[in-house]
Structure 1
Amino acid sequence: MSTNAAPGTGAAARPAASARREQILKEAARLFAERGFHGVGVDEIGAAVGISGPGLYRHFPGKDAMLAELLVGISGRLLAGGKRCVERTDGPADVVLDALVEGHIEFALDDRSLITLHDRELDRLRDSDRKLVRQLQRQYVELWVEVVREVYPALVESEARAAVHAVFGLLNSTPHLGRPGSLPGRDATAALLRRLARGAFAAAVPDSAGEA
């Protein structure tokens, strides 16, 4: 009896299925951000990726599952990326902080639709998924706080945490900067966000800390 797998089955099919899922999620994120979660139907998501609406159910049980995977997924990826920055970046704490900022800027420029989704649709998640998102986000914040306090020892923990949230607010402002084609260019926008982040951290340091 032959042991060869049929075409489209087994390990060979898994990368294609994974790529299709990513394509579906990308288009779902774009459509949800543009028109709202309830303003988009399964058929429209299917049309955007070239498959029938019912065909989507081979990958996701419904729109709720797509939204959960998008929001839980990006929170997990941000945390994992932050941990990699801390573990793999050589040099003092300010170099690590710069790496964290660069990683978040990359996210803010590449995944603007997910920022919009988080702001508008987080409350639509099931309680368990919403709690998981919040848990992942808290871990991400605390990772930053630890590094910020190394760079700026004059900041107490609450001040460092407030500074981190302020910087996230600045970096996550990209959906409000205009349509991608209207921005001054990726490099210029990244440079602006970088300066704003550094300025915000420096401004958080109490005036008395810099006195001789």
Structure 2
Amino acid sequence: MPRDRRILDAAALAFHEKGFHGVGMDELGTRSGLSGPSLYRYFSGKDEILATLLDQAMDELLGATAPVEDDPVRDLHRALRHHVEFALANRPLITLYQREVRSLVEPWAKSFTRRRAQYTRQWEALVARAHPHLDDTTVAATTQGCLGLVFSVAGWPDRVLSTPQVADLILDLVTRGVDGAGSAA
């Protein structure tokens, strides 16, 4: 595994466990099998590590919101499935985002905020494409409700997440909610 990936994986876990401000570069070095000072060959500091973690997650999530299917409902459901699976596989990263996004500093904060707005617009476009009769306010509310449910899995108890086919259950809840909003309007 490349060293920068080891550093990022160790940082994601450490930030999840102790919070961004509770972890120093020396600890990140120890966790990634490097000395603290050698981390600076790869990253300028914790701020860049946090920004890189959040940007990599955003890259994947933005990519999944790009339309790929001709059928807009099927395309929305595809994106929802991806997001459910991503959230379940990356719970510490989702928690890190929820807790620490406000810790981003410049030059990374402005760029990330812009990308997050793009992400929301792309989601709204997916919902609007699947349910063209919805007004903009309903599309926005439906999008936020959908994403809120998906990313809430970061805080779910392990006993609930160990339920067989939990991804299918979550996907069913989310798709019924989105489709219900479409039919209620």
- Note if 1:95 corresponds to 2:78: no
Structure 2 spans left out of the alignment, 5+ residues: none
AA matched with 2:45: G
AA matched with 2:174: A
- Note if 1:189 corresponds to 2:160: no
Structure 1 spans left out of the alignment, 5+ residues: 1-15
Output the CA distance in 2 between the equivalents of 1:23 and 1:182. Answer: 29
Output the CA distance in 2 between the equivalents of 1:64 and 1:101. Answer: 30
Q: What is the SS of the residue equivalent to 1:61?
A: coil
Output the CA distance in 1 between the equivalents of 2:128 and 2:160. Answer: 36
Which has the higher mean CA deviation after the structures are superposed, 159-168 or 70-79? 70-79
Output the CA distance in 1 between the equivalents of 2:129 and 2:181. Answer: 14
Alignment counterpart, residue 160 of structure 1, candidates 116, 132, 139: 139
Output the CA distance in 2 between the equivalents of 1:199 and 1:71. Answer: 29
Q: Is the 8 A contact 1:32 1:39 kept in 2?
A: yes
Hey, what does 2:94 align to over in structure 1? 115
- Note if 1:82 corresponds to 2:65: yes
Q: Is the 8 A contact 1:72 1:132 kept in 2?
A: no
Q: Give the fraction of aligned pairs with identical amino acids, expressed as a percent.
A: 35
Output the CA distance in 2 between the equivalents of 1:192 and 1:131. Answer: 36
Q: Is the 8 A contact 1:76 1:136 kept in 2?
A: no
Aligned residues: 185
When the two chains are superposed, the root-mean-square deviation of aligned CA atoms in Å is 1.9
Deviation at 1:144, TM superposition (A): 2.0
Output the CA distance in 2 between the equivalents of 1:183 and 1:134. Answer: 30
Hey, what does 1:132 align to over in structure 2? 111
Deviation at 1:92, TM superposition (A): 0.8
Q: Is the 8 A contact 2:62 2:119 kept in 1?
A: yes
Q: Is the 8 A contact 1:46 1:52 kept in 2?
A: yes
Q: What TM-score do the two structures reach when normalised by structure 2?
A: 0.90
Q: Based on CA coordinates, which of the two structures has the bigger radius of gyration? A: 1
Hey, what does 1:171 align to over in structure 2? 150
Deviation at 1:190, TM superposition (A): 0.6
Q: Which has the higher contact order (CA 8 A, sep 6+)?
A: 2
Output one character per residue of 1:51-70: Cα deviation in whole Å (capped at 9) or x when no partner.
11112111112111101111
Alignment counterpart, residue 38 of structure 1, candidates 14, 21, 24: 21
Output the CA distance in 2 between the equivalents of 1:163 and 1:40. Answer: 37
AA matched with 2:169: L
Hey, what does 1:21 align to over in structure 2? 4
Alignment counterpart, residue 204 of structure 1, candidates 178, 181, 185: 181
Deviation at 1:206, TM superposition (A): 6.3
Output the CA distance in 1 between the equivalents of 2:174 and 2:114. Answer: 24
Q: What TM-score do the two structures reach when normalised by structure 1?
A: 0.79
Q: What is the SS of the residue equivalent to 1:126?
A: coil
